[in-house]
Amino acid sequence: MTAEQAPTRTIGIIGGTGPQGRGLATRWAVAGVPVTLGSRDAARAAEVAAEVGHGVRGASNEVAAASEVVVVTVPWDAHEVTLRALAPALRGRIVVDSVNPLGFDERGPFALPVLEGSAAQQAEALLPESTVVAAFHHVSAVTLADLEVTDLDLDVLVLGDDRDAVDVVVGLAGLMPGVRGLYGGRLRNAHQVEALTANLIAINRRYKAHAGLRITDV
C-alpha cells in the first residue's frame, strides 16, 4: 500500500522514547502520519519528540494510548505492568505489540519462555477490549532512525486474529521505504516470531549487520 492509499490514522507509541519507538516514529512521521511518543514522563517524551522532529509530539503513555493505533515498545520486563495499567486507556484501540521476550548471557541472546505463549498473547489476555496485533519484531531501530537508509529491504510479519486490524498494520508497515507487511499467521503463532529475533541478533553480531527477513514467492 502506498502512502496515498493508506488511511491516515494517528499512532501512539507506548515506551516510545527508546530506540525502537524513536525509529518507528521517524519513519511514520516522514510518511505523514501523526505520531505521539509516549513515556512514563511526559516532559521526557516532549524532549525526545523534539529530537526526533518531523512533527512528532511527546506525551504521557496514557495520552499516547488514545491514538487510533497504539504500538508497544517497552522492554519485556515492563510489558505486563505497563499494559495492565493502560488497559482502560487502550479500550477499542488496535494495539501492536513489538516486544521480544529475550534474555542475554555470555553466550548471547536467547528466547525466554512466556506463560501465555508470547508477549502478544500476554497482551491479548491483559487487553480483552483491545484488538491485539503483533508486528515489527525484526526491524532494526538503527536503520529505522537513519533516514540515509532509503530502502529498508525487509518484510514485516504481521500476526493477528482480526483481519481488518492486520490489514491496517500491513498498511502502516508499507509506509516505510522498502518494507512490505505480510500476514504471518494468528496471534498464537507469535512466539516463534518473537523468538526468532534472538537468531537475528546473533546474525547481526557475527556479521556486523542489521539483518532483516524476506519471504519469497509471495
Ligand X SMILES: NC(=O)c1ccc[n+]([C@@H]2O[C@H](COP(=O)([O-])OP(=O)(O)OC[C@H]3O[C@@H](n4cnc5c(N)ncnc54)[C@H](OP(=O)(O)O)[C@@H]3O)[C@@H](O)[C@H]2O)c1
Binding ligand X by CB under 6 A: which of 7, 8, 32, 41? 41
Single out the segment in contact with ligand X by CB under 6 A; choices: 2-10, 25-33, 95-103, 149-157: 95-103
Q: For residue 74, what is its C-alpha cell?
A: 517497552
Q: Which stretch binds ligand X (CB under 6 A): 121-129, 137-145, 164-172, 173-181?
A: 137-145
186 near 211, Cβ under 8 Å?
A: no
Shortest Cβ distance from residue 5 to ligand X (Å)? 26
Q: How many residues bind ligand X (CB under 6 A)?
A: 23
Least distance in angstroms from the C-beta of 112 to ligand X: 11
**Smallest distance from ligand X to CB 18, Å:** 2
Establish if 26 lies at the interface with ligand X (CB under 6 A): no
Minimum Å gap between C-beta 137 and ligand X is 5
Q: State yes or no: residue 17 binds ligand X (CB under 6 A).
A: yes
CA-wise closest residue to 87 among 33, 30, 43, 126? 126
Q: Does 21 bind ligand X (CB under 6 A)?
A: yes
Distance in angstroms (rounded) separating the CA atoms of residues 159 and 141: 20
CB closer to ligand X, 40 vs 180: 40
Burial class (CB in 10 A: 0-12, 13-18, 19+), 83: buried
Binding site for ligand X (CB under 6 A): 15, 17-21, 39-41, 44, 73-76, 78, 82, 98-100, 137, 139-141
